[in-house]
Protein backbone atom coordinates (compact mmCIF):
# COMPACT_ATOMS: atom_id res chain seq x y z
CA UNK A 1 0.00 0.00 0.00
CA UNK A 2 1.55 3.34 -1.02
CA UNK A 3 1.93 5.92 1.74
CA UNK A 4 1.39 9.61 1.10
CA UNK A 5 2.64 12.58 3.10
CA UNK A 6 0.19 15.48 3.11
CA UNK A 7 0.86 19.16 3.84
CA UNK A 8 -2.41 20.68 5.01
CA UNK A 9 -3.79 24.15 5.64
CA UNK A 10 -6.96 24.65 7.64
CA UNK A 11 -9.14 27.06 9.55
CA UNK A 12 -9.81 25.36 12.89
CA UNK A 13 -12.85 27.47 13.72
CA UNK A 14 -15.59 25.06 12.56
CA UNK A 15 -14.02 21.95 14.07
CA UNK A 16 -13.78 20.21 17.43
CA UNK A 17 -10.04 19.95 16.76
CA UNK A 18 -7.78 17.73 14.72
CA UNK A 19 -8.70 14.43 16.35
CA UNK A 20 -11.68 12.39 15.22
CA UNK A 21 -14.24 11.90 18.02
CA UNK A 22 -17.60 10.21 18.41
CA UNK A 23 -19.46 13.51 18.31
CA UNK A 24 -18.59 16.59 16.27
CA UNK A 25 -16.75 17.40 13.06
CA UNK A 26 -12.95 17.10 13.15
CA UNK A 27 -10.20 17.96 10.67
CA UNK A 28 -9.05 14.35 10.73
CA UNK A 29 -12.59 13.19 9.98
CA UNK A 30 -12.92 15.52 6.99
CA UNK A 31 -9.63 14.22 5.56
CA UNK A 32 -10.57 10.60 6.15
CA UNK A 33 -13.93 11.04 4.43
CA UNK A 34 -12.15 12.48 1.38
CA UNK A 35 -9.51 9.77 1.46
CA UNK A 36 -12.16 7.06 1.58
CA UNK A 37 -13.56 8.27 -1.74
CA UNK A 38 -10.11 7.86 -3.30
CA UNK A 39 -9.74 4.42 -1.74
CA UNK A 40 -12.68 2.77 -3.53
CA UNK A 41 -14.92 3.55 -0.55
CA UNK A 42 -12.71 1.64 1.88
CA UNK A 43 -11.83 3.32 5.21
CA UNK A 44 -8.65 5.40 5.37
CA UNK A 45 -6.80 6.47 8.52
CA UNK A 46 -5.04 9.84 8.45
CA UNK A 47 -2.29 10.34 11.04
CA UNK A 48 -1.29 13.90 11.90
CA UNK A 49 1.95 15.30 13.29
CA UNK A 50 -0.01 16.60 16.29
CA UNK A 51 -3.50 17.16 17.63
CA UNK A 52 -4.50 20.79 17.38
CA UNK A 53 -7.38 21.88 19.64
CA UNK A 54 -10.77 23.20 18.64
CA UNK A 55 -10.36 26.61 16.98
CA UNK A 56 -6.61 26.25 16.36
CA UNK A 57 -5.45 26.77 12.77
CA UNK A 58 -2.68 25.30 10.63
CA UNK A 59 -0.59 26.75 7.83
CA UNK A 60 1.33 23.52 7.29
CA UNK A 61 0.06 20.58 9.32
CA UNK A 62 1.68 17.33 8.21
CA UNK A 63 -0.13 14.00 8.00
CA UNK A 64 0.10 10.67 6.21
CA UNK A 65 -2.31 8.10 4.84
CA UNK A 66 -2.12 4.75 3.07
CA UNK A 67 -4.21 3.95 -0.01
CA UNK A 68 -4.90 0.68 -1.80
CA UNK A 69 -3.87 2.12 -5.17
CA UNK A 70 -0.98 4.27 -6.34
CA UNK A 71 -1.84 7.70 -7.72
CA UNK A 72 0.19 10.65 -8.93
CA UNK A 73 0.81 13.16 -6.14
CA UNK A 74 -0.92 15.99 -8.03
CA UNK A 75 -3.99 13.80 -8.44
CA UNK A 76 -3.99 13.01 -4.70
CA UNK A 77 -3.85 16.73 -3.90
CA UNK A 78 -6.50 17.77 -6.39
CA UNK A 79 -8.90 14.89 -5.71
CA UNK A 80 -8.72 15.38 -1.94
CA UNK A 81 -9.38 19.10 -2.38
CA UNK A 82 -12.30 18.36 -4.69
CA UNK A 83 -13.93 16.14 -2.08
CA UNK A 84 -13.33 18.79 0.62
CA UNK A 85 -14.54 21.72 -1.47
CA UNK A 86 -17.08 22.83 1.14
CA UNK A 87 -14.61 22.60 4.04
CA UNK A 88 -11.90 25.13 5.01
CA UNK A 89 -9.29 22.35 4.74
CA UNK A 90 -6.82 22.29 1.84
CA UNK A 91 -4.09 19.88 0.76
CA UNK A 92 -1.17 22.08 -0.28
CA UNK A 93 1.11 19.23 -1.28
CA UNK A 94 1.14 15.42 -1.51
CA UNK A 95 4.33 13.33 -1.58
CA UNK A 96 5.14 9.63 -1.72
CA UNK A 97 7.06 8.40 1.35
CA UNK A 98 8.36 5.05 2.57
CA UNK A 99 5.87 2.71 4.21
CA UNK A 100 7.59 3.10 7.60
CA UNK A 101 7.55 6.91 7.60
CA UNK A 102 5.29 8.42 10.29
CA UNK A 103 3.97 11.99 10.42
CA UNK A 104 3.98 12.11 14.20
CA UNK A 105 6.84 9.93 15.39
CA UNK A 106 9.40 11.06 12.80
CA UNK A 107 8.91 14.77 13.52
CA UNK A 108 11.91 16.47 15.14
CA UNK A 109 10.59 20.03 15.42
CA UNK A 110 7.27 21.84 15.50
CA UNK A 111 6.76 25.59 15.20
CA UNK A 112 3.75 27.55 16.37
CA UNK A 113 2.74 31.16 15.85
CA UNK A 114 0.35 33.01 18.13
CA UNK A 115 -1.09 36.29 16.80
CA UNK A 116 -2.23 39.07 19.13
CA UNK A 117 -3.55 42.48 18.13
CA UNK A 118 -3.58 45.15 20.84
CA UNK A 119 -6.19 47.62 19.70
CA UNK A 120 -9.37 49.00 21.19
CA UNK A 121 -11.53 48.58 18.08
CA UNK A 122 -13.31 45.30 17.43
CA UNK A 123 -12.17 42.98 14.64
CA UNK A 124 -14.02 42.68 11.35
CA UNK A 125 -11.69 40.85 8.97
CA UNK A 126 -9.60 38.78 11.41
CA UNK A 127 -12.26 37.74 13.90
CA UNK A 128 -11.55 34.16 14.95
CA UNK A 129 -7.98 34.31 13.61
CA UNK A 130 -6.25 36.59 16.10
CA UNK A 131 -6.66 37.43 19.80
CA UNK A 132 -7.65 41.04 20.34
CA UNK A 133 -6.39 42.62 23.56
CA UNK A 134 -8.00 46.09 23.84
CA UNK A 135 -5.02 47.85 25.49
CA UNK A 136 -1.41 48.35 24.39
CA UNK A 137 1.09 45.64 25.33
CA UNK A 138 4.83 45.84 25.92
CA UNK A 139 6.28 43.27 23.53
CA UNK A 140 9.88 43.78 24.71
CA UNK A 141 9.01 43.00 28.32
CA UNK A 142 7.11 39.88 27.23
CA UNK A 143 10.00 38.70 25.07
CA UNK A 144 12.44 39.06 27.97
CA UNK A 145 10.08 37.23 30.34
CA UNK A 146 9.59 34.43 27.81
CA UNK A 147 13.29 33.54 27.94
CA UNK A 148 12.72 31.95 31.37
CA UNK A 149 10.69 29.31 29.53
CA UNK A 150 13.41 28.38 27.03
CA UNK A 151 15.26 25.13 27.70
CA UNK A 152 14.29 21.88 29.39
CA UNK A 153 11.82 22.30 32.24
CA UNK A 154 8.96 20.68 34.10
CA UNK A 155 6.03 22.58 32.53
CA UNK A 156 3.33 21.37 34.94
CA UNK A 157 2.15 24.97 35.46
CA UNK A 158 1.54 25.39 31.73
CA UNK A 159 0.05 21.93 31.17
CA UNK A 160 -3.69 21.36 30.81
CA UNK A 161 -5.16 19.10 33.49
CA UNK A 162 -6.47 16.79 30.73
CA UNK A 163 -3.03 16.40 29.13
CA UNK A 164 -2.21 12.75 28.40
CA UNK A 165 1.56 13.13 27.99
CA UNK A 166 3.59 10.75 30.13
CA UNK A 167 5.83 13.52 31.47
CA UNK A 168 5.44 17.29 31.98
CA UNK A 169 9.09 17.80 31.00
CA UNK A 170 9.65 19.40 27.61
CA UNK A 171 12.41 21.36 25.92
CA UNK A 172 11.57 24.70 24.33
CA UNK A 173 14.25 25.56 21.77
CA UNK A 174 13.26 29.18 21.18
CA UNK A 175 10.61 31.80 21.89
CA UNK A 176 10.56 35.15 20.11
CA UNK A 177 8.00 37.91 20.56
CA UNK A 178 8.01 40.78 18.08
CA UNK A 179 5.67 43.50 16.87
CA UNK A 180 4.62 43.26 13.21
CA UNK A 181 2.70 46.42 12.35
CA UNK A 182 -0.52 46.28 14.42
CA UNK A 183 0.10 42.73 15.64
CA UNK A 184 2.37 41.04 18.16
CA UNK A 185 3.66 37.65 17.04
CA UNK A 186 4.69 34.95 19.50
CA UNK A 187 6.87 32.26 17.87
CA UNK A 188 7.53 28.95 19.65
CA UNK A 189 9.91 26.21 18.51
CA UNK A 190 10.27 22.76 20.11
CA UNK A 191 10.28 19.07 19.29
CA UNK A 192 6.86 18.70 20.93
CA UNK A 193 4.46 20.51 23.24
CA UNK A 194 2.07 19.60 26.04
CA UNK A 195 -1.70 20.00 25.70
CA UNK A 196 -2.52 23.74 25.68
CA UNK A 197 1.07 24.57 26.65
CA UNK A 198 1.49 27.33 24.08
CA UNK A 199 -1.84 28.97 24.91
CA UNK A 200 -1.06 28.76 28.63
CA UNK A 201 2.33 30.41 28.15
CA UNK A 202 0.88 33.15 25.93
CA UNK A 203 -1.86 33.93 28.44
CA UNK A 204 0.66 34.28 31.26
CA UNK A 205 3.01 36.41 29.16
CA UNK A 206 0.15 38.74 28.25
CA UNK A 207 -0.21 39.47 31.99
CA UNK A 208 3.40 40.66 31.89
CA UNK A 209 2.75 42.74 28.77
CA UNK A 210 -0.19 44.41 30.52
CA UNK A 211 1.98 45.25 33.54
CA UNK A 212 -0.09 43.04 35.84
CA UNK A 213 2.90 40.77 36.49
CA UNK A 214 6.65 41.35 36.63
CA UNK A 215 8.94 39.50 34.23
CA UNK A 216 10.28 37.31 37.04
CA UNK A 217 6.73 36.10 37.78
CA UNK A 218 7.04 33.78 34.76
CA UNK A 219 9.98 32.01 36.39
CA UNK A 220 8.05 31.74 39.66
CA UNK A 221 5.11 30.19 37.82
CA UNK A 222 7.41 27.73 36.06
CA UNK A 223 9.32 26.77 39.21
CA UNK A 224 6.10 26.43 41.22
CA UNK A 225 4.98 23.46 39.09
CA UNK A 226 1.30 24.01 39.89
CA UNK A 227 -1.43 24.49 37.30
CA UNK A 228 -3.15 26.99 39.59
CA UNK A 229 -0.20 29.38 39.16
CA UNK A 230 -0.83 29.74 35.41
CA UNK A 231 -2.36 32.94 34.11
CA UNK A 232 -5.52 32.99 31.96
CA UNK A 233 -5.25 30.58 29.03
CA UNK A 234 -5.20 32.40 25.68
CA UNK A 235 -8.10 31.59 23.34
CA UNK A 236 -7.45 29.27 20.38
CA UNK A 237 -8.23 31.95 17.77
CA UNK A 238 -4.69 33.27 17.38
CA UNK A 239 -2.79 29.94 17.38
CA UNK A 240 -1.33 28.44 14.21
CA UNK A 241 0.78 25.36 13.59
CA UNK A 242 3.12 26.83 10.98
CA UNK A 243 5.66 24.08 10.26
CA UNK A 244 6.88 20.59 11.14
CA UNK A 245 10.46 19.50 10.53
CA UNK A 246 11.66 15.96 9.82
In this prediction, residue 1 carries a pLDDT of 84
In the chain, what are the domains? Answer: 3-97 (3.30.70.580), 110-239 (3.30.70.660)
Q: Which of 53, 87, 118, 237 is catalytic?
A: 53
Examine the pLDDT at 87 and tell me if it is beyond 90: yes
Any catalytic annotation for residue 237?
Answer: no
In this prediction, residue 42 carries a pLDDT of 94
- What is the spatial distance between Cα 142 and Cα 88, in angstroms, rounded to a whole number? 33
Examine the pLDDT at 235 and tell me if it is beyond 90: yes
Question: Averaged over 210-236, what is the pLDDT?
Answer: 96
pLDDT in tens, 35-82: 999 998 999 999 999 999 999 999 999 999 999 989 999 999 999 999
Judge residue 14's burial from the number of C-beta atoms within 10 Å of its C-beta, 0-12 exposed, 13-18 middle, 19 or more buried: middle
- What is the spatial distance between Cα 64 and Cα 91, in angstroms, rounded to a whole number? 11
pLDDT in tens, 169-214: 999 999 999 999 999 999 999 999 999 999 999 999 999 999 999 9
pLDDT in tens, 101-160: 999 999 999 999 999 999 999 999 999 999 999 999 999 999 999 999 999 999 999 999
Find out whether 47 and 64 touch, Cβ atoms under 8 Å. Answer: yes
Taking each helix axis from N to C end, the angle separating 139-146 and 216-224, rounded to the nearest 10 degrees, works out to 40
Residues in the chain: 246
Examine the pLDDT at 22 and tell me if it is beyond 90: no
In this prediction, residue 229 carries a pLDDT of 96
Amino acid sequence: MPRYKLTIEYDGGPYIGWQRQKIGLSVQGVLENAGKKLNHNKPVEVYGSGRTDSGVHALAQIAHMDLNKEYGTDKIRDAMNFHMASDPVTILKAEVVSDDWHARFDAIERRYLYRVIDRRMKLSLDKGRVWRVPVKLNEDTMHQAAQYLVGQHDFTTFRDTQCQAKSPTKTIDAITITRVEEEIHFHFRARSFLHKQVRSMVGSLIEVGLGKQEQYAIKKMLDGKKRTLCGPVAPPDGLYLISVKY
